[in-house]
Structure 1
């Protein structure tokens, strides 16, 4: 007999579960609470660090560890413990930052280190908005003062600058230990090679001794494609690009602000409980 507790739901945050300006729709909050109260297991897979995830979720309690910093951190909010930390090759990342700043002198640069703390090494209106929108504290400092244990680098700028930066990055080689990942129209990140949301989900399933075929992923952007393909079942929200929708098993009727996550979870509850 099928039960809600059989499923592990991994949900992207920005433009899937919530928007930076409007937060989490009330219907998403209420249905997530209903889903977990009935035994369903829900967590997030996000580029956000733990501090930002906690601030955004508010009173929503995750029933599984979270995939944070796009997979560089696996974090258990129930025990406030880092389960796994994966770090960049700092020498290669620093070389990439220097090169990108020379080519794009107005681009903002952030480094996430430690347990997801933000260090702003080249400020811009976009790095400021990032901090405000995601409720993150930060330290402004030169690159050489950022502590060891870099989780990822974030380049922030207008969509055209980020598009050009992504194209430029493809023409450069800074070593094989890191890779560039566009995560939004205004963000381009450097991640440790082999680390992603998909790899994080795979490792969490191993840690928890769960069948990855029982995973459900809800996402909206190109950086969700890999984890959606790895999951047992994938859902794209209505505001996702056409390529993401085409890769999903299901597309919601609602967009993010309309409560797409609540729509899908309620449908799952109804299906399993035969409501």
Structure 2
């Protein structure tokens, strides 16, 4: 009888700072462990703030066998079908919130992500948006008027130098209080506006239900505050060693650094628990 020791388990990992090393690569150790996990019946996928086009080159390197969580939880995308199977767009009030933030902080960068977009629109540019565009190889798409966009808004990414963003974040949250949006710090230099009930944690619950896997059998790995709801809601939330202190506090387990094959470490630990019968 074929060994299916990981059947009924879903392993979901963040990408940047978790699955990927500092060179934005997937280590051979991580790849081999993921292949072993899926060959033994496990379901594996990604949860990231990235869009489909940015994620696809990594998907092609991995045995992903479940839909992926994109846009930090606002979209669930099935790469095998090449389409989104669920999404939650921003409410109309998001436009006013964006205008308030840009007017108050003319130096902050802002990128608008819309349904199905291959690249974001630049609402306001700075050095951080230029770096982000260069890393992701996005074309420069400027937006003169919101009326020029017919597709629903999915998220808005604000970016600045960390010290400047540290000062701006609480003021933006106060300025936009009452607006039906969720704010999340996804990196030291990124602050994102998301739809309500569209965090990675909300998306994980929806995905697990779609796959028929109980949350107790969901293992989630992450490193920053955009992973917090996912870490809290998963049956086993794992914070990598380089994670934000708040994530480390919330996690049920602390894993290895993202430069030390954190996914392979988590799968090795999980296998030990399964074989010992200490997990549900």
Would you say same fold, with TM above 0.5? yes
Instruction: Tell me whether 1:148 sits opposite 2:148 in the alignment.
Output: no
What CA distance in whole angstroms lies between the structure 2 residues aligned with 1:270 and 1:143? 55
The CA distance in 1 between the partners of 2:129 and 2:22, in whole Å, is: 14
* Among candidates 160, 163, 185, match of residue 160 of structure 1: 163
Q: Distance in 2 between matches of 1:53 and 1:264?
A: 22
Question: Structure 1: which 5+ residue stretches go unaligned?
Answer: none
Matched with 1:250 is 253
Counterparts in 2 of 1:62 and 1:266: CA distance versus 1, 3 Å: same
In structure 2, the partner of 1:119 is 121
Offset at residue 218 of structure 1 (A): 0.6
* 1:59 shift after superposition: 1.6
Residue 68 of structure 2: which of 49, 66, 69 is its match?
Answer: 66
Whether 1:221 and 2:231 are equivalent positions in the alignment is: no
| Contact 1:220/1:237 (8 A) holds in 2 | yes
Q: Which sits farther off after the overlay, 13-22 or 132-141?
A: 132-141
Deviation (angstroms), 1:174: 5.9
Q: Flag the 1:37–1:137 CA change in 2: closer, same or farther, 3 A.
A: farther
The answer to whether 1:129 aligns with 2:127 is no
Q: Is the 8 A contact 2:5 2:40 kept in 1?
A: no
Aligned length: 272
User: Cα offset for 1:71?
Assistant: 1.1
Asked if residue 16 in structure 1 is aligned to residue 18 in structure 2, the reply is yes
2:103 equivalent to 1:102? yes
1:40 and 1:138 mapped to 2: Cα distance?
Answer: 40
Q: CA deviation at 1:186?
A: 0.5
> CA 1:133–1:97 in structure 2 vs 1: closer, same or farther (change >3 Å)?
same
Q: 1:108 to 1:119 in 2, by over 3 A?
A: same
Match of 2:56 in 1: 54
Answer yes or no: is the 8 Å Cα contact 1:121–1:143 preserved in 2. Answer: no
Q: Which moved more, 1:255-264 or 1:94-103?
A: 94-103
> Is residue 154–residue 187 contact of structure 1 (8 Å, CA) maintained in 2?
yes
